[in-house]
A and B are shown apart, each in its own frame.
Chain A
Amino acid sequence: MEELNALFHGFSIALTPFNLGLMFVGIILGVIIGVLPGLGGANGVAILLPLTFTMPPTSAIIMLSCIYWGALFGGAITSILFNIPGEPWSVATTFDGYPMAQQGRAGEALTGAFTSSFVGALVAVLIFTFLAPLIANFALQFGPPEFFSVYLLTFCSFVGTGKGNPFKIIASMMLGFAMAAVGIDIVTGQLRLTFGFTELLSGFNFLVAVIGLFGIGEILLSMEEGLSFSGHGAKINPRIVLETWARLPRYWATSIRSCIIGCWMGIIPGGATPASFMSYGVARQMSREGNKFGTGQLEGVVAPETAAHAAGTSALLPMITLGIPGSPTAAVLLGGLMIWGLQPGPLLFVEQKDFVWGLIASMYLGNIAGLIVVLTMVPFFAAILRVPFSIIAPVIVVICAIGAYTVKNNMLDVWMIVVFGIVGYAFKKLDYPLAPMVLALVLGDAAESSFRQAMLISQGNLTVFWSNWLVGSLTTLALALLFWPLVTALRDRLRAPAPAAR
């Protein structure tokens, strides 16, 4: 119970009026950053990092980590309301969140998203508190083959369960992989698929693509379908929060699975974005109502949000214990640690007790503060959908354009969202799924590098993916998930004749 003592000591550090004030400031800033697509958590933290050099390190990390929590909460808001993911990890939230909003259930979706975010964070912080040193070493087991098998698992859990024409899923995914390959090739150091255009050097930015495909694409569709939001009848009764809470315990199994996936992906570190996709895919497969996913299931919001926030929170663990950032935001915080004169690494827990336990205590308090802030805003957010389309649509287009511009201060990206918007519109019209393309775009690069690193190390031997129990079981699980639909289809076919014969 040494940890409990340390934790209470941490609370005594975090619970000063100054630190509590910083916590709320951080959360509110974070929510705003999360709402604005393009201005990601990493950018937000990076912009505010220098302001914190005049504060004590503990106060500084409390404020910055609260910005991060705020961004984790806030990413869901525009995903649900307008089908524009505010952050990469809330892409999967749009799949069921936006249909819910269209059915006038925005308040329910938002409450579900925020509450499950909080649950994910809470589980991650508990693990952080009691198992940190133990789990940190788990991350060290992950070399290139292990990372590749994790990415493979993400793809397979998502594809294997996908509905619709499998050839369209594959076509969409391959297009995503092709786009992910543009730019510099990390293994040979050469430029690929840039066709001599220096503008293509840095490849396609994931956020720009997503803002265009989802945000602008959706506006184009709405314009065709009669210039109105289908969600304008949204209830804006504060009681919606309590009603949704009463429904949430039903999804306990999905919550537990998503927490496990999230914590695990945060620690290794795989990141919040793949965690949210994997969790959504697994939930769709395991849930009794899996075939209704994508039509506005609350469970389809719970799964990715729980995993994303659990992963985002536990991503700080490898950062503090090993000095490896589990997410881009953690990478910026890591830079901050060094500038404050703290050296991340195994010794931080020993040498900087006040700092580490102050941070952990602030994770509890920050997430509670975050939940309070965002839940009180639910009716307000839901009311936005009552604004007439002719007013809100231009606002959304402007927000999309600003978001695309802030990614890299590059005007070209603003034109790119128009192009991606048209692609998104065409995909919808032709009934091609967007999600596989987005998934391939965000993970293609990392999956490719880890595969090729593994091939370099093993000198081209594919058995490296079964070379120890960890990577072996991951790869096998991934392949099993990929072929699962075939197995169930076969089983159904074998079973089906039985009643017919009777």
Chain B
Amino acid sequence: MRIQRIFTCNAVLLAMAFAGPAAAWEPSKTVEFVIPAGQGGGADQMARFTQGVVAKHNLMAQSIVPINKSGGAGAEGFLDVKASKGDEHKIIITLSNLFTTPLATGVPFNWKDLTPVAMLALDNFVLWVNSETPYKSPKDYLDAAKKAGPGKFNMGGTGAKQEDQIITVAIEKAAGVKFTYVPFKGGGAVATQLVGNHVNSTVNNPIEAVAHWRSGKLRPLCVFEKQRMPYKNKVTETMAWGDIPTCREAGIPMDYLMLRGIFMPAGVSQDVVNFYIEFFKKVRGTAEWKKLMEDGAFNQSFMTGKEYADWVANAENVHRELMREAGFLAKK
């Protein structure tokens, strides 16, 4: 009797476990989370953060394992996912190199080789100078750069022919100045070079430079966004992210946001994509995620489905146009 009852009990539990989302797909083994960038960078942090909150809040029955495939400016990671057609247990987080790497190097991949899952957030870019310099506004700085002559001022940035250099070229075009662009390996190194006065300015992401801003070593001049960032909490004694003017206000008609989005290999069913969409909604719902977004002054846009695919298609065109103007496209 007793045994039978336990058995029924278990059967009911089992039935509940299976019956609920009967049709829904779920991962049956560890999910590989490809990061097309090095360890410690922005994409890496976001992927490892996701792994952490998944473990902490039990958001998925299977675990998720980030792996860095940063070779060839991220091409290694994208080619890996492209080659894994139909693999339901592989996802990739992207940065702008989804567009810039194939355009600049001619490596054969395109976002259309992948299945778009969801946009997690967009990353902002801010024009920074050392706080020992007298420049209080973008105009002060650009006037000084113009006065010094072409190539005399150095702009530090991450990588070559990637987002930082694209923004630099756009500033040059808008303001009629010419910088010497100095590429470094990572955003953290770029910020430190600015603190040490080895370059004149950077276009670091907020999270890469915030520590130096708070300690009074760096000064933000403007953000490359259509409107000011929405964060009102004070970061330094006197300023919040929202107090930084937009570059448009200062007469630089340039805005640029970097995609932090998720893609999958091609050839997976909509059920699988839906699972990952719901999964990332859960991740975004955690308190930890909200804090990360505020600390790094991210733009918290979230998109899926056609809306997301359209956004990506448009972003690709924008990049092709910007890179054509800058002369960064790979020769065919």
Contact = CB atoms under 8 A, between A and B. Distances in A.
| B partners with A | yes
Interface of A: 42, 46-47, 49-51, 53-54, 139-144, 183-191, 194, 198, 201-203, 322-325, 328, 331-332, 334-336, 338-339, 341, 343-347, 408-409, 449, 453, 456-457, 459
Residue with the highest number of chain B CB atoms closer than 10 Å, among A140, A184, A203, A341: A184
B13 interface: no
A192 B251 CA distance: 39
B189 interface: yes
Given A46-B48, A334-B40, A449-B185, A189 B191 contact: no
Interface string B78-114: 0100000000000000000000000011011000000
A201 B195 contact: no
Contacts of B162: 189
A50 B48 contact: yes
Given A186-B159, A332-B40, A201 B185 contact: no
A344 B75 CA distance: 30
Interface in B47-76: 48-49, 51-56, 65-67, 69-73, 75-76
Given A50-B55, A324-B189, A457 B79 contact: no
Given A322-B195, A323-B192, 8 more contacts: A50-B48, A183-B71, A331-B188, A332-B48, A345-B211, A453-B182, A453-B183, A457-B154
A140 B191 CA distance: 11
Contacts, number: 167
A343 B45 CA distance: 13
Nearest to B109: A198
Given A187-B183, A343-B295, A51 B211 contact: no
B329 to A, nearest CB: 11
B234 interface: no
B45 A339 contact: yes
Contacts of B53: 53
Given A142-B196, A143-B198, A190-B105, A343 B40 contact: no
B39 to A, nearest CB: 5
A63 to B, nearest CB: 14
B25 interface: no
B18 interface: no
A141 B160 contact: no
A139 B195 CA distance: 10
Contact of A185 (B76, B160, B188, B212): B160
B151 interface: yes
B170 interface: no
Contacts of A184: 71-73, 75, 105
A347 B48 contact: no
Nearest to B216: A346
B292 A347 contact: no
A338 B295 contact: yes
B198 A201 contact: no
A201 B210 contact: no
Interface string B173-188: 0000000111111101
Contacts of B189: 324
B328 interface: yes
26 contacts: A49-B51, A49-B52, A50-B48, A50-B55, A53-B56, A54-B55, A139-B196, A140-B196, A186-B185, A187-B160, A188-B160, A189-B161, A198-B107, A201-B107, A325-B188, A331-B38, A335-B49, A338-B295, A339-B48, A343-B214, A345-B211, A345-B214, A346-B211, A346-B217, A449-B183, A453-B183
B215 interface: yes
Interface of B: 38-40, 44-45, 48-49, 51-56, 65-67, 69-73, 75-76, 79, 104-105, 107-108, 151, 154, 159-162, 165, 180-186, 188-189, 191-193, 195-196, 198-199, 207, 210-212, 214-215, 217, 288, 291-292, 295, 328
Given A50-B48, A459-B151, A189 B328 contact: yes
Closest 3 CB pairs of A and B: A202-B71, A345-B211, A331-B40
A336 B162 CA distance: 26
Nearest to A53: B52
Given A183-B71, A201-B75, A457 B180 contact: yes
B129 to A, nearest CB: 16
Given A183-B71, A201-B75, A322 B192 contact: yes
B45 A335 contact: yes
Contacts of B52: 49-50, 53, 339
Contacts of B151: 459
A456 B168 CA distance: 15
Contact of A457 (B70, B107, B182, B192): B182
A50 B51 contact: yes
A51 B65 CA distance: 12
A188 B186 CA distance: 15
Given A202-B70, A332-B39, A345 B215 contact: yes
Nearest to B106: A191
B55 A144 contact: no
A344 B45 CA distance: 14
Contacts of A457: 154, 180, 182, 198-199
A339 B49 contact: yes
B294 to A, nearest CB: 11
A203 B75 CA distance: 12
B198 A345 contact: no
Contacts of B79: 198, 201
A246 B190 CA distance: 47
Contact of B67 (A141, A186, A194, A409): A409
A235 B198 CA distance: 55
